[in-house]
């Protein structure tokens, strides 16, 4: 859903990426620093100030575009780079929802939304794993209503608006929507892989 925006932002961050290349910074280092920044924004600031956390996370989340652009520009695209990027994406995503869980544990106590934050964390991770594992087995798994970029934009935008306008209901809606959408996406991917596996098995009989 957000691919057109990705192309736009890639053009925006190109000057930064080119500057880092001239400075001799590696794409893997940018990935690492970006993940540290997202984790700091989520784990340090979310439990205290949601808006500050959103701003810090947003500032660092663009590293996911910068490192990819740098790798393609310098020809340093590698299997390890893809593995490193994907692995740290899971860390960053997990940190965001852990930060929200801490917020509901400390700043605005709510067992329901603490648990819902953890559900989003779990199902978001399974969503990514289902696609990765399915593609490793040779199946096409690019389906689902909640891609990673969609989930990330939704939670950051709604969390930011809930803090700016003092409308916590916006965050609640986002968590319910993401929990449901992620669960549906996992189901979609399991179903697609199952159909392809059955079709593959029938052709070998």
Complete domains list, the chain, with CATH: 3-203 (1.20.120.1760)
For residues 165-184, average pLDDT: 97
Crossing angle of helices 111-136 and 148-164, in 10° steps, is: 160
Rounded CA gap, 59 and 66, in Å?
A: 12
- Which pLDDT score is estimated for 5? 58
Averaged pLDDT of the chain: 91
pLDDT tens-place string over residues 135-145? 999 999 999 99
- CA neighbor of 63 nearest in space, from 93, 44, 89, 83: 89
DSSP string, 63-102: HHHHHHHHHHHHT---HHHHHHHHHHHHHHHHHHHHHHHH
Active site residues: 89
Q: Has residue 31 got a pLDDT over 70?
A: yes
Q: CA 59 to CA 40: how far, in whole Å? A: 12
Tell me the percentage of the chain whose pLDDT exceeds 70: 95
- In this predicted structure, which of 21-25, 52-56, 71-75 has the lowest mean pLDDT? 71-75
């Amino acid at each position: 859903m957000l691919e057109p925006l990705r192309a736009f932002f890639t053009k925006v961050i190109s000057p930064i990426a080119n500057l880092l290349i001239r400075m001799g910074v590696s794409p893997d280092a940018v990935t690492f620093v970006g993940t540290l920044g997202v984790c700091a924004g989520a784990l340090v600031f979310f439990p205290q100030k949601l808006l500050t956390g959103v701003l810090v996370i947003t500032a660092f989340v663009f590293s996911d575009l910068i490192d990819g652009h740098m790798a393609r520009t310098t020809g340093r695209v590698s299997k390890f780079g893809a593995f490193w990027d994907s692995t740290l994406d899971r860390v960053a995503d997990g940190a965001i929802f852990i930060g929200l869980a801490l917020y509901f544990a400390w700043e605005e106590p709510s067992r329901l939304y603490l648990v819902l934050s953890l559900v989003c964390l779990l199902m978001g991770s399974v969503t990514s794993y289902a696609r990765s594992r399915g593609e490793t087995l040779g199946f096409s798994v690019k389906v689902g209503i909640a891609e990673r970029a969609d989930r990330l934009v939704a939670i950051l935008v709604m969390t930011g608006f809930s803090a700016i306008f003092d409308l916590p209901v916006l965050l609640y809606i986002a968590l319910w929507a993401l929990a449901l959408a992620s669960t549906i996406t996992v189901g979609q991917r399991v179903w697609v892989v199952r159909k392809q596996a059955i079709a593959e098995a029938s052709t070998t009989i």
